[in-house]
Amino acid sequence: AGTREKNPRFVEQVASLFSTDQHILGCQSGKRSELACIDLLAAGFMNVKNVGGGYAAWLHNGLPVTVAVPTPPPTPESAAAI
């Protein structure tokens, strides 16, 4: 299995992007998000939760998933109608 390099600016980036009091983290299996939770808690964040088992467990348990349907680019015909 491949290894992933840890983002040295992760905590700084989360702090600059998200100002909520609650943080819910998830990844495919739940392991990387668990490590990310540990980093955030060590940095003083509160109310940090991991989606146990990740996205795979979410799907396995039949929890809802919303999939965005991409908007197709305009065709010359549809652009002419605008």
Catalytic residue list: 27
- Beta-bridge mates of residue 48: 23
Q: Is 22 in a helix, a strand, or coil?
A: coil
- Which tokens belong to 8? 């040295």
Categorise residue 44: left if φ over 0, alpha if ψ from -120 to 50, beta otherwise: left
